[in-house]
Amino acid sequence: MEPAIHDDVASVADDIASMEVRGAATIARAAAEALRTQAQSSDATDPQAFRAELRAAARTLHDTRPTAVSLPNALRYVLGGMTGGTVEALRDSTVETATDFLSRLDRAQDALGAVGANRLRDGDTIMTHCHSTDVLACVRHALDDGKALSAIVKETRPRNQGHITAKQLREWGVPVTLIVDNAARRYLNDVDQVLVGADSIAADGSVINKIGTSGLAVNARDRGTPFMVAAQTIKLHPATLTGHTVEIEMRDEAEVVDPETRAEIGDITVENPAFDVTPPRYVDAIVTERGQFPPESVVWLMRELYGEGTREPWAEPV
């Protein structure tokens, strides 16, 4: 018999797949909460069945989106804390670990914000791409430190997550100029600091983030504009330590062009990669809750935090 997955877990998985819940840190949070719900509401009567349920729930959550490593890292963290010889002990330890994970996530983002804010000066104009809660934590801290900032916000086709960033910044009183993605280079001379988030960071310091990030980074380097990545350590991708590459999600072509317009254009191929890879040489700093790093040195941090742990998050303990 298949292990019973709670309805809430299935619906969180659907929400992540459909991007109702999106952004690497938010996805990690939703996944940890879902595992906690699964543990709290499990009807399993023996430890083996309980473990099987939690692993099945983790697999369902994992198979939603492939690029943000915060998702498997969150699942691995919670499942790693599932210990005990009885259902009650397994339940308690899982719930406790998930709760601990969620508070660590909040603390990490806050600490990261304080580090990133140090790179911003009073009067700076920043440029953003997509919507990153880690980036916004840096902005929030800088504002709380009394610095005045203004922002040039790229809309970020095809899903326009730049609108979410613009709305948040306006709520905080930050003057916002919204531009189409193609206009970024024209405005880079007016920008003091480009700030982007990350879905995954590879062992060589490559940054995997929303499609368009790499082009922005190359343009920023050409213009001499500092390019900073705000990413909690949960974005470090442990499997890349052993040579794995990060899978880039390909999404529905209807996000790029609606079916009628596509039919009118004629026989075309439409591609919709959701993310791209920015080589480390275009990145000035990766800001984490553990301090800021030149991209080439994150490998040491990654080894310290994850060792060589590259197993799938639902694997049986070895």
Point out which residues bind ligand RUB (CB under 6 A): 22-26, 68, 130, 132-134, 161, 197-199, 209-210, 274
Residue 5 vs 25, nearer CB to ligand RUB: 25
Cβ closer to ligand RUB: 197 or 313?
197
CB 42 within 8 A of CB 90: no
User: Closest separation between CB of residue 140 and ligand RUB, Å?
Assistant: 12
Total number of residues shown for the chain: 318
Shortest distance (Å) from residue 318 CB to ligand RUB: 30
Q: Which residue is nearest to ligand RUB (CB)?
A: 197
Q: Residues 15, 16, 20, CA angle at the centre, nearest 5°?
A: 50
DSSP element (H, E) containing 179 = strand 176-179
74 close to 30: Cβ distance less than 8 angstroms: no
Least gap, CB of 27 to ligand RUB (angstroms): 7
In whole angstroms, the minimum distance from the beta carbon of 91 to ligand RUB comes to 29
- C-beta closer to ligand RUB: residue 22 or 36: 22
Side by side, the strands of the sheet bearing 275-278 are 200-201, 207-210, 275-278
Between 42 and 165, name the residue whose CB sits nearer to ligand RUB: 165
Tokens at 106, concatenated = 């909040």
Closest C-alpha among 311, 312, 19, 300 to residue 158: 19
Least separation in angstroms between CB 198 and ligand RUB: 6
73 closest CA partner among 35, 112, 111, 122: 35
Closest approach, Cβ 16 to ligand RUB, in A, equals 9
Q: Rounded to whole angstroms, how far apart are CA atoms 125 and 148? A: 9
Catalytic amino acids? Answer: 130, 199
DSSP for 112-139 reads HHHHHHTT--TT-EEEE-S--HHHHHHH
For residue 224, is it left (φ>0), alpha (ψ between -120 and 50) or beta?
A: left
* CB closer to ligand RUB, 95 vs 234: 234
Nearer Cβ to ligand RUB (6/119): 119
Nearest C-alpha neighbor of 314 from the set 83, 76, 89, 67: 76
> Which one, 87 or 105, has the nearer CB to ligand RUB?
105
- The span from the CA of 288 to the CA of 183, in Å, is 29
What is the chain's alpha carbon radius of gyration, rounded to the nearest angstrom?
A: 20
Q: Specify whether the CB–CB gap between 210 and 274 falls below 8 A.
A: yes
Least distance (Å) between residue 90 CB and ligand RUB: 29
